[in-house]
Amino acid sequence: MQSGMQMLHTHYRDMRCTEGFLGIFKEAENTAINGLVQGSTLPPIRRAPRRYDDGYALHQWENPEEYFRSQFFEVINLLTSELTLVSGLIIPLLFWKVLKKEKFH
């Protein structure tokens, strides 16, 4: 039986595909069409202060779908890496607490 953390990790890992993103993005677009939320647009382009600007052009996305795709995959990557880290830390911690409770010497 999988723990809740393993189930979450598997769910987010399975979502990390183009179909997973497109399903969520199309659902958000349909919600915007129905007038429940504002439609997806690109964020305004902000330039760095002149002292930090090296003269190179900033990356600009062609359309809102590309922008939100990059944001989606960034969030999914952060979630899966954090769940991997936390599960790697919690299992030894729980094992240590069990050992401590049983008082094995």
Percentage of the chain exceeding pLDDT 70: 78
Q: How sure is the predictor about 77, in pLDDT bands with cuts at 50, 70 and 90?
A: very high
Quick check: 96 pLDDT over 70?
Answer: no
Give me the pLDDT at residue 90, please.
63
Query: Over the stretch 22-42, which tens digit does the pLDDT of each residue have?
Result: 999 999 888 888 887 788 888
Q: Domain ranges for the chain, please list them.
A: 63-105
Q: What is the 3-state secondary structure (H, E, C) of the chain?
A: CCCHHHHHHHHHHHHCCHHHHHHHHHHHHHHHHCCCCCCCCCCCCCCCCCCCCCCCCCCCCCCHHHHHHHHHHHHHHHHHHHHHHHHHHHHHHHHHHHHHHHCCC
Q: pTM of this prediction?
A: 0.67
